[in-house]
Amino acid sequence: MNKKLMSAAMAATMVASMAIGTTAFAEGETVGILMPTQSSERWINDGANMKAQLEEKGYTVELQYAEDDTAQQVSQLENYVGKGVNCLVIAAIDSDVLVNAEAQAKEAGIPIIAYDRLLMNTDAVSYYATFDNRGVGQVIGQYIKDTKDLEAARKAGESYTIEFFMGSPDDNNALFLYNGVMDVLQEYLDDGTLVCKSGRVSFEDTCILRWDQQTAQSNCENILTANYADEDLDIACTAFDGFAYGVKAALQGAGYTEENWPLVTGQDSEVMATKNIINGTQTMSIYKDTRLLASKAVTMVDAVLQGTEPEINDTEQYNNGVITVPTYMCTPVAVDQSNYQEILIDGGYYTEDQLAQ
């Protein structure tokens, strides 16, 4: 064997033995995952991706969904602690109710990774893997600003009507997203380029508990009946694909057609939302690659169990009331008719067949 080949072979053996070393260490270690609900597609993908990626590394994985029932999530967490899992990954429904059980986990020496949603008011969380949640709101706001050309409208003294459907008040992400939207749109609301006829602009007035689609639909129905009898709604700024479905139903019920269909935003780029983007009943969604998020969370599990260094890119934004949690933020991307093919299909997230109408 020549020298070059020999060192390549040695390097390969080293890499292989390092990999085996990690796998052997991970083997027998159990990771307990808690996910909020199977009612929305993204969490099903998150759970499946996490499970597959952790199992590939040799971990044993337990995965539970709580169907947006906070008491059920508490008992699932207590169960994992009682069983003595080695690490916990939690996407909370309402993290405030988990605080005591998290303290028990800490007491038992079980590290916790917060997944997508920050775990509030606890010092039991080691790392946080998420998307740039304020960034999600900014991307939505910027999309509205660019698509409607609010600068030109302002100069011409024109205005657009807008209504807001924001996230759950018990989810820290929801206020971040709202603040991001307002980073971009507040000035246009202030000078009348954007007009919210219902007057429901604040987070308190526009948030929707547990991200409930039905509530978004009935809020939209009420707003359309009370405020839009004589004038069309131009923009429905929603924080979640589920809300966009509710808004779509309300708009159809109120007789909106292709002619006057408003700009409708969303989040998660679910299959249904992407189909709606293709058929024009939703304008855009935020794409969050759950494969990437899962891979970041897996590096955090490795860090707490194998003593490796996870990749962190934020140590300032996510204070949970007790500690500032070291975080990796993935970047959100706007998807619409112009780029869904490239991002979602060419990117391997969905197949063409899945998106057939």
Query: Which parts of this chain interact with ligand BGC (CB under 6 A)?
Result: 40, 42, 116-117, 171, 173, 211, 240, 267-268, 288
Task: Name which of 57 and 117 has its Cβ closer to ligand BGC.
Answer: 117
Q: Return d(Cα 52, Cα 194) in angstroms, integer.
A: 45
Specify the residue, 85 or 89, whose C-beta has the smaller distance to ligand BGC.
Answer: 89
Nearest approach, Cβ of 220 to ligand BGC (angstroms)?
Answer: 17
**Interatomic CA distance for residues 46 and 251, integer angstroms:** 31
**Of 34, 116, 112, the residue nearest 67 (C-alpha):** 34
Which CB sits closer to ligand BGC, 174 or 235?
Answer: 174
CB of 237 to ligand BGC, least distance (A): 14
CA distance 175 to 224: 24
Q: How far is the CB of 352 from ligand BGC (least distance, A)?
A: 24
Rounded CA separation 82/80 (Å): 5
Among residues 303, 255, 266, 234, the alpha carbon closest in space to that of 86 is found at 303
Among residues 128, 54, 38, which one has the least CA distance to residue 86?
Answer: 54
Longest dimension (CA), the chain: 84
CB of 215 to ligand BGC, least distance (A): 13
Pick the closer one to ligand BGC by CB: 48 or 189.
48
Regarding beta strands 284-287 and 333-336, do their DSSP bridges make them parallel or antiparallel, or are they unpaired? antiparallel
Measure the CA–CA gap between 354 and 252, rounded to whole angstroms. 24
Closest approach, Cβ 4 to ligand BGC, in A, equals: 48
Contacts (Cβ under 8 Å, ≥6 apart) of 181: 137, 138, 140, 141, 164, 166, 237, 239
CB of 236 to ligand BGC, least distance (A): 16
Considering beta carbons, is residue 117 or 134 the nearer one to ligand BGC? 117
Specify the residue, 178 or 211, whose C-beta has the smaller distance to ligand BGC: 211
Write down the least CB distance from residue 155 to ligand BGC, Å: 35
d(CA 209, CA 32): 26
Between residues 37 and 299, which has the closer beta carbon with respect to ligand BGC?
A: 37
